[in-house]
Structure 1
Amino acid sequence: MADDRKALGRWGEQYAAEYLQQLGYQLIASGWHCRWGEIDLIAYDQATLVIIEVRTRRGTAHGSAAESLTLKKRQRLARLLQAYLQALDAAQTPWLGDYRIDAIAITLSRGQPQLEHFQAISIE
Protein backbone atom coordinates (compact mmCIF):
# COMPACT_ATOMS: atom_id res chain seq x y z
CA MET A 1 0.00 0.00 0.00
CA ALA A 2 2.75 2.49 0.95
CA ASP A 3 4.70 1.64 -2.21
CA ASP A 4 1.54 2.21 -4.24
CA ARG A 5 1.12 5.68 -2.68
CA LYS A 6 4.78 6.50 -3.33
CA ALA A 7 4.44 5.47 -6.95
CA LEU A 8 1.31 7.62 -7.28
CA GLY A 9 3.17 10.53 -5.69
CA ARG A 10 6.13 10.15 -8.05
CA TRP A 11 3.75 9.99 -11.01
CA GLY A 12 1.99 13.14 -9.80
CA GLU A 13 5.27 15.01 -9.41
CA GLN A 14 6.33 14.05 -12.94
CA TYR A 15 2.94 15.06 -14.34
CA ALA A 16 3.15 18.39 -12.49
CA ALA A 17 6.72 18.97 -13.71
CA GLU A 18 5.65 18.47 -17.32
CA TYR A 19 2.70 20.82 -16.82
CA LEU A 20 4.96 23.52 -15.33
CA GLN A 21 7.49 23.19 -18.14
CA GLN A 22 4.68 23.68 -20.66
CA LEU A 23 3.88 26.93 -18.84
CA GLY A 24 7.50 28.04 -19.20
CA TYR A 25 8.75 27.30 -15.68
CA GLN A 26 12.41 26.32 -15.44
CA LEU A 27 12.68 23.34 -13.09
CA ILE A 28 15.87 23.36 -11.05
CA ALA A 29 15.34 20.60 -8.47
CA SER A 30 13.00 17.91 -7.24
CA GLY A 31 12.87 16.03 -3.98
CA TRP A 32 15.02 18.53 -2.03
CA HIS A 33 15.32 17.30 1.57
CA CYS A 34 16.12 18.90 4.89
CA ARG A 35 15.21 18.22 8.51
CA TRP A 36 11.74 19.75 8.01
CA GLY A 37 10.80 17.48 5.13
CA GLU A 38 10.88 17.53 1.37
CA ILE A 39 10.17 20.11 -1.31
CA ASP A 40 8.61 18.29 -4.25
CA LEU A 41 9.65 20.70 -7.02
CA ILE A 42 11.71 23.88 -7.18
CA ALA A 43 11.51 26.11 -10.22
CA TYR A 44 11.84 29.59 -11.62
CA ASP A 45 8.75 31.30 -12.95
CA GLN A 46 10.56 33.98 -14.88
CA ALA A 47 12.51 35.80 -12.13
CA THR A 48 10.58 34.30 -9.20
CA LEU A 49 11.84 31.31 -7.22
CA VAL A 50 8.94 28.92 -6.64
CA ILE A 51 8.69 25.88 -4.41
CA ILE A 52 5.86 23.59 -5.42
CA GLU A 53 3.97 21.08 -3.31
CA VAL A 54 2.32 18.36 -5.39
CA ARG A 55 -0.67 16.53 -3.92
CA THR A 56 -2.04 13.55 -5.84
CA ARG A 57 -5.12 11.52 -4.97
CA ARG A 58 -7.04 8.66 -6.55
CA GLY A 59 -10.64 9.82 -6.42
CA THR A 60 -12.31 11.93 -3.77
CA ALA A 61 -13.52 9.33 -1.27
CA HIS A 62 -11.19 10.84 1.35
CA GLY A 63 -11.34 14.38 -0.02
CA SER A 64 -9.75 15.89 -3.09
CA ALA A 65 -6.05 16.48 -3.51
CA ALA A 66 -6.64 20.21 -2.97
CA GLU A 67 -8.44 19.53 0.32
CA SER A 68 -5.42 17.60 1.57
CA LEU A 69 -3.36 20.80 1.64
CA THR A 70 -4.09 21.63 5.27
CA LEU A 71 -2.96 24.67 7.24
CA LYS A 72 -0.34 22.52 8.96
CA LYS A 73 1.05 21.38 5.60
CA ARG A 74 1.12 24.96 4.30
CA GLN A 75 3.00 26.10 7.40
CA ARG A 76 5.49 23.25 6.91
CA LEU A 77 6.02 24.50 3.34
CA ALA A 78 6.87 27.95 4.70
CA ARG A 79 9.51 26.36 6.97
CA LEU A 80 10.86 24.38 4.02
CA LEU A 81 11.10 27.53 1.91
CA GLN A 82 13.06 29.28 4.67
CA ALA A 83 15.35 26.25 5.02
CA TYR A 84 15.98 26.24 1.27
CA LEU A 85 16.79 29.96 1.29
CA GLN A 86 19.17 29.40 4.23
CA ALA A 87 20.83 26.54 2.33
CA LEU A 88 21.41 28.90 -0.59
CA ASP A 89 22.96 31.43 1.81
CA ALA A 90 25.20 28.73 3.32
CA ALA A 91 26.35 27.77 -0.18
CA GLN A 92 27.19 31.45 -0.72
CA THR A 93 24.59 31.73 -3.47
CA PRO A 94 21.95 33.79 -1.66
CA TRP A 95 18.60 34.35 -3.34
CA LEU A 96 17.76 38.05 -3.33
CA GLY A 97 14.76 37.96 -5.65
CA ASP A 98 11.09 37.24 -5.23
CA TYR A 99 9.85 33.84 -4.11
CA ARG A 100 6.55 32.11 -3.49
CA ILE A 101 4.93 28.80 -2.65
CA ASP A 102 2.65 27.10 -5.18
CA ALA A 103 0.63 23.93 -4.89
CA ILE A 104 -0.53 21.57 -7.58
CA ALA A 105 -3.40 19.25 -6.75
CA ILE A 106 -4.03 16.28 -9.03
CA THR A 107 -7.13 14.19 -8.50
CA LEU A 108 -7.62 11.13 -10.67
CA SER A 109 -11.21 10.76 -11.75
CA ARG A 110 -11.93 7.60 -13.74
CA GLY A 111 -8.24 7.44 -14.57
CA GLN A 112 -8.16 11.00 -15.92
CA PRO A 113 -6.04 13.56 -14.04
CA GLN A 114 -7.76 16.76 -12.96
CA LEU A 115 -5.04 19.31 -12.20
CA GLU A 116 -5.47 22.49 -10.16
CA HIS A 117 -2.60 24.97 -9.83
CA PHE A 118 -2.65 27.33 -6.86
CA GLN A 119 -0.11 30.15 -7.06
CA ALA A 120 1.22 32.02 -4.04
CA ILE A 121 -0.72 29.96 -1.52
CA SER A 122 -1.45 31.41 1.88
CA ILE A 123 0.29 29.95 4.92
CA GLU A 124 -2.33 31.31 7.30
Structure 2
Amino acid sequence: MSLYKKNLGKTGEDLALDFLKSHNYSILEKNFHSKFGEIDIIGEKNHCLYFVEVKTRSNLNHGAPFEAVNKRKIYHIKKAAQYYLLKNKFEGYKLKVAVFSILIEGKKIDIKFWDNID
Protein backbone atom coordinates (compact mmCIF):
# COMPACT_ATOMS: atom_id res chain seq x y z
CA MET A 1 0.00 0.00 0.00
CA SER A 2 1.38 3.39 -0.95
CA LEU A 3 2.11 6.06 1.63
CA TYR A 4 -0.55 8.25 -0.02
CA LYS A 5 -3.23 5.58 0.46
CA LYS A 6 -2.13 5.01 4.07
CA ASN A 7 -2.34 8.74 4.78
CA LEU A 8 -5.72 8.98 3.05
CA GLY A 9 -7.02 6.06 5.12
CA LYS A 10 -5.67 7.58 8.34
CA THR A 11 -7.29 10.93 7.49
CA GLY A 12 -10.61 9.17 6.89
CA GLU A 13 -10.38 7.29 10.19
CA ASP A 14 -9.58 10.54 12.02
CA LEU A 15 -12.65 12.20 10.46
CA ALA A 16 -14.80 9.21 11.45
CA LEU A 17 -13.47 9.35 15.03
CA ASP A 18 -14.25 13.08 15.24
CA PHE A 19 -17.77 12.44 13.94
CA LEU A 20 -18.42 9.63 16.43
CA LYS A 21 -17.06 11.60 19.39
CA SER A 22 -19.14 14.65 18.43
CA HIS A 23 -22.22 12.39 18.42
CA ASN A 24 -21.52 11.03 21.92
CA TYR A 25 -20.04 7.65 20.98
CA SER A 26 -17.38 6.25 23.30
CA ILE A 27 -14.38 4.89 21.42
CA LEU A 28 -13.33 1.49 22.79
CA GLU A 29 -10.75 0.40 20.19
CA LYS A 30 -9.06 1.59 17.03
CA ASN A 31 -7.64 -0.79 14.44
CA PHE A 32 -8.58 -3.98 16.27
CA HIS A 33 -6.82 -6.95 14.63
CA SER A 34 -7.90 -10.57 14.65
CA LYS A 35 -7.31 -13.59 12.44
CA PHE A 36 -10.60 -12.68 10.72
CA GLY A 37 -9.48 -9.19 9.78
CA GLU A 38 -9.33 -5.67 11.13
CA ILE A 39 -12.09 -3.53 12.57
CA ASP A 40 -11.27 0.15 12.07
CA ILE A 41 -13.20 1.46 15.07
CA ILE A 42 -15.17 -0.13 17.88
CA GLY A 43 -17.50 2.28 19.63
CA GLU A 44 -20.30 2.26 22.16
CA LYS A 45 -23.41 4.39 22.54
CA ASN A 46 -26.62 3.75 24.47
CA HIS A 47 -25.64 0.20 25.43
CA CYS A 48 -24.93 -0.72 21.79
CA LEU A 49 -21.56 -1.77 20.37
CA TYR A 50 -20.68 -0.47 16.90
CA PHE A 51 -18.12 -2.25 14.74
CA VAL A 52 -17.16 0.42 12.24
CA GLU A 53 -15.59 0.12 8.80
CA VAL A 54 -14.17 3.32 7.31
CA LYS A 55 -13.70 3.60 3.54
CA THR A 56 -12.03 6.71 2.17
CA ARG A 57 -11.32 7.72 -1.41
CA SER A 58 -9.98 10.81 -3.14
CA ASN A 59 -12.08 10.38 -6.29
CA LEU A 60 -14.83 8.23 -7.75
CA ASN A 61 -12.70 6.54 -10.42
CA HIS A 62 -13.19 3.17 -8.72
CA GLY A 63 -16.68 3.88 -7.40
CA ALA A 64 -17.96 5.41 -4.19
CA PRO A 65 -16.13 4.42 -1.00
CA PHE A 66 -19.10 2.49 0.42
CA GLU A 67 -19.17 0.26 -2.67
CA ALA A 68 -16.01 -1.42 -1.36
CA VAL A 69 -17.96 -2.76 1.62
CA ASN A 70 -19.47 -5.91 0.16
CA LYS A 71 -21.10 -8.94 1.79
CA ARG A 72 -17.73 -10.67 2.16
CA LYS A 73 -16.27 -7.67 4.00
CA ILE A 74 -19.32 -7.47 6.29
CA TYR A 75 -18.98 -11.21 7.01
CA HIS A 76 -15.35 -10.70 8.09
CA ILE A 77 -16.28 -7.71 10.26
CA LYS A 78 -18.94 -9.81 11.99
CA LYS A 79 -16.47 -12.67 12.59
CA ALA A 80 -13.89 -10.23 14.00
CA ALA A 81 -16.65 -8.71 16.16
CA GLN A 82 -17.49 -12.16 17.56
CA TYR A 83 -13.82 -12.65 18.39
CA TYR A 84 -13.73 -9.24 20.11
CA LEU A 85 -16.76 -10.21 22.17
CA LEU A 86 -15.07 -13.44 23.26
CA LYS A 87 -12.05 -11.48 24.48
CA ASN A 88 -14.08 -8.74 26.16
CA LYS A 89 -17.11 -9.33 28.33
CA PHE A 90 -20.03 -7.30 26.99
CA GLU A 91 -23.30 -8.84 28.09
CA GLY A 92 -26.68 -7.41 27.16
CA TYR A 93 -25.32 -5.06 24.49
CA LYS A 94 -26.88 -4.69 21.06
CA LEU A 95 -24.41 -5.17 18.20
CA LYS A 96 -24.27 -3.23 14.94
CA VAL A 97 -21.97 -3.02 11.94
CA ALA A 98 -21.55 0.58 10.80
CA VAL A 99 -19.89 2.08 7.73
CA PHE A 100 -18.36 5.45 6.94
CA SER A 101 -18.03 6.40 3.29
CA ILE A 102 -15.67 9.38 3.05
CA LEU A 103 -14.80 11.18 -0.17
CA ILE A 104 -12.02 13.77 0.00
CA GLU A 105 -11.65 15.71 -3.25
CA GLY A 106 -9.23 18.56 -2.71
CA LYS A 107 -10.72 20.66 0.09
CA LYS A 108 -14.20 19.18 -0.32
CA ILE A 109 -15.07 16.43 2.17
CA ASP A 110 -18.22 14.33 1.93
CA ILE A 111 -18.96 12.05 4.91
CA LYS A 112 -21.77 9.51 4.90
CA PHE A 113 -22.49 7.27 7.89
CA TRP A 114 -24.70 4.20 8.09
CA ASP A 115 -25.01 2.90 11.64
CA ASN A 116 -26.69 -0.45 10.99
CA ILE A 117 -25.51 -2.48 7.99
CA ASP A 118 -26.38 -6.13 7.41
Is the shorter-chain TM-score for this pair beyond 0.5, marking a shared fold? Answer: yes
- Paired position in structure 2 for 1:100: 96
SS at match of 2:64: coil
Q: Write out the 4+ residue segments of structure 1 that deviate beyond 3 Å after TM superposition.
A: none
Distance of 2:107 and 2:67 partners within structure 1: 19
The structure with the largest strand share of the pair is: 2
Q: Distance in 2 between matches of 1:112 and 1:17?
A: 18
What is the alpha-carbon root mean square deviation over aligned residues? 1.3
TM-score (norm 1): 0.88
1:82 aligns with 2:99: no
Count of matched residue positions in the alignment of Structure 1 and Structure 2: 118
| Matched ranges for 1:106-121 at <5 A | 106-121=102-117
Following the alignment from structure 2 to structure 1, what is the Cα–Cα distance between the partners of residues 7 and 64? 18
Is there any run of 5+ residues in structure 2 with no aligned partner, and where? Answer: none
Q: Matches of 1:102 and 1:86 in 2, distance apart?
A: 20
Deviation at residue 15 of structure 1 after TM alignment:
0.6
Partner Cα distance (1:102, 1:22) in 2: 16
**TM-score (normalised: structure 2):** 0.92
- Could you tell me how far 1:83 is from its partner in structure 2? 1.1
5+ residue gaps, structure 1: none
Q: Secondary structure at the match of 2:117?
A: coil
